[in-house]
Amino acid sequence: MAKYDRQFYPGTTVPAKNRKRFMDPKIKLEKLRDVAMDDVVKILGHRQPGEDYRSIHPPLEESNEPDCPIRQMVTPIEGAKKGDRIRYVQFTDSVYFAPIIPYVRAWMYMTRFRGIDTGTLSGRQIIEMRERDLEKVAKELIDNETFDPAKTGIRGATVHGHACRLDENGLMFDAWQRYRFNAKKGEVEYVKDQVALPLDKPISVGKPMSEAELKKRTTMFRVDGVDMRDDKEVMMTNLRIHRLRTLAGYQPWEIKGE
């Protein structure tokens, strides 16, 4: 029997291929910027740079946990070993070709990260982790190609904006104006943290991508980009899910010839 290669996502179009790329953990995502870790910590707003991590239980080494098969199978992530509290980073992705979109985030997180709890809505996508691990993940997600300074927002609360039109600088709407466009530098800079508390100084997250660049990296099917109906395999797979669920509930093997 041929070796099965996990495909991660069907389809042949740009959004389908990008979905596959984002989900396949063997593919290293392109790093487009390097926001200092201290600045990431400030934007997250959970602790000050240099401040100790707060813990919610003793380090596992000291806690005399009972032995069990699960503990033997699962290696704890660093923050779990140390007893860190669980904190979050939450992104809002504009419908105007933000590179990644909420469900693709969830699917990507599941294949690339361990020790996460993630939740997906239309206007925000949260990932929760032990704090020190979260900071590393947040930096990765801000630095890499899934993030566009103008079309991706880092927002803990008051998240609406993903479906609003863009402002005169092409930035996604944010009622708290956590970020602004620095016309002189051509960069987007955060002036407030995730929950809109003012930062002591602006933090640049770089230049917005051009429209052409966004469309190259997009995971979104849109009529003014790639229409999903033009990706036969994606359509077929999706319709098949609906059909099998309709005809067989969750026992698709019961259906012959479909």
Partner 1 sequence: MAKDKEKLFMKAMKKKFKEDPTDEHTTYYSFGGWKQSKRKREWVEQANKIAKARGLVMMNQDIGVPLGQRVLMPYQLSHTDIYAEADDLHFVNNAAMQQAWDDIRRTVISGLDTAHTVIEKRLQKEVTPETINRYLEAVNHTMPGGAVVQEHMAECSPALTADCYVKVFSGNDELMDEIDKQFRIDINKEFPADQAKQLKEAIGNSLWQKIACPTIVGRICDGGTMSRWSAMQISMAFITSYRLAAGEAAIADFAYAAKHASVLEMGTMMPARRARGPNEPGGIPFGFLADMVQSMRKFPDDPARASLETVALGAVIYDQIYLGSYMSGGVGFTQYATAAYTDNILEDYTYWAVDLIKDKYGGLCKMKPSMDNIEKLGTEVNSYALEMYERYPAAMEAHFGGSQRATVAAAATGIACAMATANANCGVNGWYLSMLQHKERMGRLGFYGYDLQDQCGSANSFSYRSDEGLPHELRGPNYPNYAMNVGHLSGYGGIAAAAHAARGDAFACNPLIKVAFADKNLPFDFANITKEFGRGAMREFMPAGERTVIIPSA
CB 258 within 8 A of CB 243: yes
Nearest to 144 by CA among 87, 100, 101, 90: 100
Residue with Cβ nearer partner 1 (32 or 172): 172
Six-digit token pair at 257? Answer: 């010839």
| Residue ranges that bind partner 1, judged by CB under 8 A | 93, 95-96, 101-104, 119-123, 158, 160, 162-168, 170, 173, 175-177, 219-224, 227-229, 234-235, 238-239, 241-243, 245-247, 249-250
* Least distance in angstroms from the C-beta of 238 to partner 1: 5
* Least distance in angstroms from the C-beta of 131 to partner 1: 24
Nearest to 93 by CA among 183, 155, 7: 155
Residue with Cβ nearer partner 1 (90 or 219): 219
CB 47 within 8 A of CB 41: yes
* Least distance in angstroms from the C-beta of 145 to partner 1: 16
Residue with Cβ nearer partner 1 (86 or 235): 235
Residue with Cβ nearer partner 1 (35 or 150): 150
Rounded distance, CA 154 to CA 142, Å?
9
Residues 6+ apart with CB under 8 A from 84: 53, 54, 55, 56, 130, 131, 132, 133
Residue 29: other Cβ atoms inside 10 A? 20
Rounded distance, CA 137 to CA 206, Å?
18
* Least distance in angstroms from the C-beta of 4 to partner 1: 23
CB 10 within 8 A of CB 107: no
Phi-psi region of 6 (alpha: psi -120 to 50; beta: other; left: phi over 0): beta
* Least distance in angstroms from the C-beta of 169 to partner 1: 9
Residue with Cβ nearer partner 1 (66 or 198): 198
* Least distance in angstroms from the C-beta of 64 to partner 1: 37
Residue with Cβ nearer partner 1 (60 or 196): 196
Residue with Cβ nearer partner 1 (55 or 122): 122
CB 109 within 8 A of CB 118: yes
Nearest to 183 by CA among 152, 162, 204: 204
